[in-house]
């Protein structure tokens, strides 16, 4: 007769279960509550009657009373600087802030400037001035020449014009590509120079 069913252990027999306190922390995570080892801490923030240096036991008791966490926001200070706050809410706000900064950094604006293959000098300089302003704002510039009807015969002239445009804007940006012809339009993209 088979014996009673015993589930297999999820850890190695004779081995130790991993201690959750020893698991690697995310580099953005801060020490909270009992993880703070300093004998005294400097309390700052809105949730305390008076800012100042407190023994760790008193700081923990104050956080406990408010049903919040004692969070070490500057471990390298002497004594470490702590705040009493809702740590989960704090983490959520930090992640949200980081996400917003990332999405703002990812938005690259491309401004388009259009030419004809036989644009005169005055018009060329006018368009160049606008392009330099866009590049200084941090936007990319896409310079495009449209060939209408039989003007496609002037594609070499169009290419020279776009290359000249890129060269004259070198102070503000650099060309990402050579002029490329797609159908009846030829374009070049100029990216702003990185600010030093």
pLDDT at 16: 46
Residue 147's closest CA among 114, 120, 113, 121?
114
pLDDT at 6: 56
The answer to whether 51 touches 43, Cβ cutoff 8 Å, is yes
pLDDT at 142: 92
Give tens-digit pLDDT for 85-130: 988 888 888 888 888 877 766 667 788 888 877 788 888 899 899 8
Question: Where residue 49 falls among pLDDT bands split at 50, 70, 90?
Answer: confident
Question: What 3-state class would DSSP assign to 27?
Answer: coil
CA distance 137 to 190: 13
pLDDT at 54: 92
Average pLDDT for 1-18? 50
Q: Between 34 and 155, where is the model more confident?
A: 34
Burial (CB count <10 Å: 0-12, 13-18, 19+), residue 32 = middle
The pTM of this model reads 0.45
* Residue 33 backbone zone (phi > 0: left; psi -120 to 50: alpha; other: beta): left
pLDDT at 18: 43
Question: What 3-state class would DSSP assign to 129?
Answer: helix
The alpha-carbon radius of gyration of the chain (Å, integer) is: 32
């Amino acid at each position: 007769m088979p014996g009673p069913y015993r589930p297999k252990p999820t850890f190695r027999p004779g081995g130790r279960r991993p201690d959750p306190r020893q698991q690697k922390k995310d580099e953005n995570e801060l020490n909270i509550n009992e993880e703070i080892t300093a004998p005294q801490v400097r309390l700052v923030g809105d949730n305390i009657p008076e800012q100042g240096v407190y023994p760790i036991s008193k700081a923990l008791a104050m956080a406990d009373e408010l049903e919040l966490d004692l969070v070490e926001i500057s471990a390298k200070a002497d004594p470490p600087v702590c705040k009493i706050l809702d740590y989960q809410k704090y983490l959520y706000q930090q992640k949200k802030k980081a996400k917003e900064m990332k999405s703002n950094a990812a938005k690259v604006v491309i401004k388009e400037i259009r030419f004809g293959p036989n644009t005169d000098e005055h018009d060329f300089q006018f368009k160049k001035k606008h392009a330099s302003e866009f590049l200084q704002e941090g936007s990319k510039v896409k310079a495009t020449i449209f060939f209408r009807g039989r003007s496609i015969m002037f594609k070499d002239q169009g290419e020279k014009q776009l290359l000249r445009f890129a060269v004259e804007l070198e102070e503000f940006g650099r060309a990402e590509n050579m002029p490329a012809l797609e159908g009846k339009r030829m374009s070049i993209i100029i990216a702003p120079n990185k600010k030093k």
